[in-house]
Chain A
Amino acid sequence: AQSVTQLGSHVSVSEGALVLLRCNYSSSVPPYLFWYVQYPNQGLQLLLKYTSAATLVKGINGFEAEFKKSETSFHLTKPSAHMSDAAEYFCAVSDLKGMRFGAGTRLTVKP
């Protein structure tokens, strides 16, 4: 079965600093990978998705992620953090049984 592992349950950055949220996947077939964001008391919102068209995927709110097959990684980055980026972020992989989510990474942005 496919799965994802998010490294670090909490990440704290200063406003304007680089955001890097890590995700590694295990998959026996080319995966479909996703990043979602969840703000307090809200559902999950799709940030971006990888479906094999391009290894560097751009999403909403200035986020992007790079698919690296050799490292089985799909890390999420943003060059400059904004206070409004504070939220929980989930990496996910799609397989025949549905979407499997990582445990989530809570991003804190300090002024």
Chain B
Amino acid sequence: ETGVTQTPRHLVMGMTNKKSLKCEQHLGHNAMYWYKQSAKKPLELMFVYSLEERVENNSVPSRFSPECPNSSHLFLHLHTLQPEDSALYLCASSQVVGGFANYGYTFGSGTRLTVV
């Protein structure tokens, strides 16, 4: 398998549920990202991991908890979400050289999350 794979593709969860989104990259990249994409809003960067260490957390609510156990895997743990958290969650990876992702990001297909 190549590229960035996200599972599941679709997820419906209640506000009291706990679920996790998974992302896996097979590109040998050294950085991974979670983005949130809501209707009629710009892409929101949620978390950045570089060399498995979190380097950016854009004031994301604590009901979202990321985990990066190794350079190929990234998780987003979800608990007690709100309906406004319904969105497309995108994972991406990149090769960062000198602090820049000069070659761009490779995105997964996303997980469409609906909170009911």
Find out whether the CB atom of B107 lies under 8 angstroms from the CB atom of A45: yes
Among A87-104, those with CB < 8 Å from B are: 90, 94-99, 101-104
Find out whether the CB atom of A98 lies under 8 angstroms from the CB atom of B104: no
- Cα distance A34–B94 when bound, in Å? 13
Find out whether the CB atom of B107 lies under 8 angstroms from the CB atom of A34: no
**Chain A residue with Cβ nearest B4:** A43
Find out whether the CB atom of B110 lies under 8 angstroms from the CB atom of A41: yes
- Count how many chain A residues have C-beta atoms less than 8 Å from C-beta atoms of the other chain: 22
**Quick one: which of A42, A90, A98 contacts B109, CB cutoff 8 A?**
A42
- Cα distance A4–B75 when bound, in Å? 29
Given contacts A32-B100, A49-B103, A98-B33, contact A103 B108 (CB under 8 A): no
**B-to-A contact residues, CB < 8 Å:** 4, 6, 33, 42-43, 45, 48, 56, 88, 90, 92, 94, 99-110, 112
**A-to-B contact residues, CB < 8 Å:** 32, 34, 36, 41-46, 49, 51, 90, 94-99, 101-104
